[in-house]
Chains A and B, each alone.
Chain A
Amino acid sequence: MRKSRLPISRRNLLQGAAAVGLTLNLPKGARAEGGQVNFYNWDTYIGETTLDDFTGATGIDVQYDLFADNDELFAKMRNGNPGYDLIVPTNDYVERMIQADMLVPLDHSKIPNMKNLDPGFANPAHDPGRKYTMPYMWGTIGIGYRKSAVSKTPDSWADLLTSDEYAGRIATLSEAQTVMQMAMKLMGKSLNDWTDENIAAAEAMIIAQKSRITAFAPDNGQDLLLAGEVDLAMEWNGDILQAMDEDDDIGYVVPKEGGLLWEDDLCIPAGGPNPEGAHALINYILGAEAGAAIADFIYYATPNTAARALLGPEYNENPAIFPSGEAMANSEVSIFPGQDVIAKIDAAWTRVKAAG
């Protein structure tokens, strides 16, 4: 989904790349004794030195691989685990994977740093009791916008999905499910209420708006905003935060109808060669210092209370990272609706694409 999780500045990006390069290029002789963990993660979604520090602390090497989106991750794991020990799917894909027996239960006794987590994350709907997952980062989907180009803060999905005020200056995400969920929020429904009527109404809404939408952007809405091609973009908060860092004229708001709350989880896929090492890495990441270093670098919201305590107000009180109020109260977590509904959503999306 979030194709690139670019950190907060280009300078950091380069350092991050260098850090990853360093990890991958450790000379053979310097390799540690504790085996190797194959970690499959999103791009630029880890601290600058986290993996090196982990190797230093435990003697376990990390082989770090990147995926672009959940669909790629799922497609890779679908016909058997190609050798990964630790993966980071988003909550609804976690559900898919649990249903498909792709994940193994975690041994909580090997993850003492669980105590650092916000108790609010202890019992999520997608994994009751945290049997299979540990939360890594969370965030929202909302509207990124160019402040000087809007008449008022675009704090409703109507500005994006029904109004003609910003015709030709709008980008939405390209994922059928997400765009239709935001349409359902605008209709005042739950974003998990996938009745046939709601799907049809969402489809009709998007088809009616299609000519005013500039791009169904495959997660590059922030680039379109920065380039001035659009003034409003449905996007992941982290992507817009990156754009805000480059351009003061860009803002982020979670619409009052509520947006989507997502959570990426650390999970151990079935059939991985080193579940022991994976547990050790999970525990390390949930540590206070390591967690703080990661959050400070990638600027997503961490569920790690101990890590937040180490970070300043610039992070903890940033409304784009930690939204609050009515919008936040109305936001929801997406629940995997099952293959039948996925098929209906895709068919509706094909009709959207065929229209016009």
Chain B
Amino acid sequence: MESFRKNIRVFFAFFGPTAGWLMLFFFVPLAIIWVYSFGENVSLTEIKTTWTLENYKRLFESEILVLFWRSLLLSVTSTAICLLIGYPLALVIATASRGAKPWLLLIIILPFWTNLLIRTYALLNILGTRGRLNDLLEWFWNLGDGALDLIGLGALNLLGESFVPIKFLGTPLGVVIGLVYVHLPFTVLPIYSALERLDRNYLEASLDLGASQWRTFRSILLPLTMVGVATAAIITFIPMLGSFLTPDMLGRGQVDMIANVISRQFKSANDWPFGAALSLFLLYITFILLALQAIYEMRKGGQRDG
């Protein structure tokens, strides 16, 4: 690393291609979108850059705010669930035997080998009112109902007259399930890597000194892996906030998020300037969250060093 500072040519040899790539395929398109967001539609196909703020003003129309709020709520809920499931999962992997670890990690990464669209279609099959999950629930229902009959309580219909399938698709519940399913690996991996780096001696010391398992988790394990948890939360939350496919397919148009509005602006509404303003607004939120996380990490780092 030190030699980069001494030898500027080596630095550019490594940095140049990356910088060029970023410039061409990230900054330039982003700049175009940024300019569009200050434009006006002057005809069906032409946009004139008038530096109007009209597109940004429209972000504060009540229905747009409602959809932003819904996107936030769904993403926060799903991120929280991801953390609740993801942390224990990461803990299991981190404490697994040397032989089992790669296999467990493989299972976590495996879904990435299949296209998101295919996985979402598979979820449709599972979550439908006549889907596999409701089949399973019906089986349990029959089991429970049979058991009640057996003990002579069948006439009371404690479980209802008949099995009523749960509606997952087209409801916030279905969208949350989809978001959690798709983003869970993003949660597990950073937490896992934080747990891997952790010095186990701290845990042993805590237990040796008489702290309970729970106390050790709360006072030692969790605080020491908090940076990993924060990273996991951020990189889980950000793509969720911009989700398009999951609400579109699992929400069935009933639970639209903000990305569905953005997509419409570039297609049927044919209003690219407004679509650009909406996407940039999402980007600003992302930047703010990343900045907050960087500050948090810096402060954490500072505490430890000091």
Chain A residues close to B by CB (< 8 Å): 69, 71-72, 74-75, 78-79, 96, 99-100, 102, 168, 174-177, 210, 213-218, 227-229, 339, 342-343, 346-347, 349-351, 353-354, 356
Contact = CB atoms under 8 A, between A and B. Distances in A.
Contacts of B260: 353
B261 interface: yes
B305 to A, nearest CB: 48
Given A349-B264, A350-B64, A353-B256, A215 B271 contact: no
Interface in B51-76: 61-64, 66-67, 70
Interface stretch (B41-49, B103-111, B296-304): B41-49
A215 B253 contact: yes
Interface in B246-299: 248, 252-254, 256, 260-261, 264-271
B268 A339 contact: no
Contacts of B268: 71, 175-177, 342, 346
Contacts of A347: 61, 63
A218 B270 contact: no
Contact of B63 (A75, A99, A210, A354): A354
Given A354-B63, A354-B67, A74 B253 contact: no
A176 B63 CA distance: 16
Contacts of A174: 253
B190 interface: no
A74 B129 contact: no
Given A216-B254, A343-B269, A229 B45 contact: no
A339 B41 contact: yes
Contacts of B167: 168
A338 to B, nearest CB: 9
Contacts of A102: 45
B154 to A, nearest CB: 29
A75 B267 contact: yes
Rank and list the top 6 A-B pairs by shortest CB-CB distance, nearest first.
A216-B253, A71-B267, A346-B269, A215-B252, A354-B63, A354-B66
B44 A99 contact: yes
A70 B43 CA distance: 18
A210 B63 CA distance: 16
A72 B267 contact: yes
A218 B253 contact: yes
A213 B270 CA distance: 26
Contacts of A168: 167
Given A74-B270, A228-B130, A351-B63, A96 B253 contact: no
27 contacts: A69-B267, A71-B267, A74-B270, A79-B45, A100-B43, A175-B268, A176-B264, A210-B254, A213-B254, A214-B252, A215-B252, A217-B252, A218-B253, A229-B129, A339-B41, A342-B268, A342-B270, A346-B264, A346-B268, A347-B63, A350-B64, A351-B63, A353-B256, A353-B261, A354-B64, A354-B66, A354-B70
A225 to B, nearest CB: 13
Contacts of A228: 130
B29 to A, nearest CB: 13
A207 to B, nearest CB: 11
B104 to A, nearest CB: 35
Interface size class of B (residues with CB under 8 A): 20 to 34
Interface in B14-36: none
Among B66, B169, B268, the one with the most A-chain Cβ atoms within 10 Å of its Cβ is B268
B128 interface: yes
A229 B128 CA distance: 8
Contacts of B252: 214-217
Contacts of B267: 69, 71-72, 75
B119 to A, nearest CB: 17
Given A346-B264, A346-B265, 18 more contacts: A72-B267, A74-B270, A78-B45, A100-B43, A177-B268, A210-B254, A214-B170, A215-B253, A215-B254, A217-B252, A218-B248, A229-B128, A339-B43, A349-B264, A350-B64, A350-B264, A354-B67, A356-B254
A111 to B, nearest CB: 27
A209 to B, nearest CB: 12
A221 to B, nearest CB: 11
Given A78-B45, A176-B268, A350-B67, A227 B128 contact: yes
A339 B270 contact: yes
Contacts of B248: 218
Contact of A346 (B41, B44, B45, B271): B271
A100 to B, nearest CB: 4
Given A229-B130, A339-B44, A349-B264, A217 B269 contact: no
Contacts of A227: 128, 130
B253 A217 contact: yes
A321 to B, nearest CB: 27
Interface in B217-273: 248, 252-254, 256, 260-261, 264-271
Contacts of B170: 214-215
B44 A100 contact: yes
A99 B268 CA distance: 16
Nearest to B247: A353
B247 to A, nearest CB: 10
B21 to A, nearest CB: 23
A75 B263 CA distance: 12
A59 B71 CA distance: 55
B99 to A, nearest CB: 43
A325 to B, nearest CB: 32
A71 B128 CA distance: 29
Among A72, A75, A339, A354, the one with the most B-chain Cβ atoms within 10 Å of its Cβ is A354
Nearest to A215: B252
A229 B268 CA distance: 27
A149 to B, nearest CB: 14
Contacts of B43: 100, 339
A103 B253 CA distance: 33
Nearest to A175: B268
A169 to B, nearest CB: 10
Contacts of B265: 346
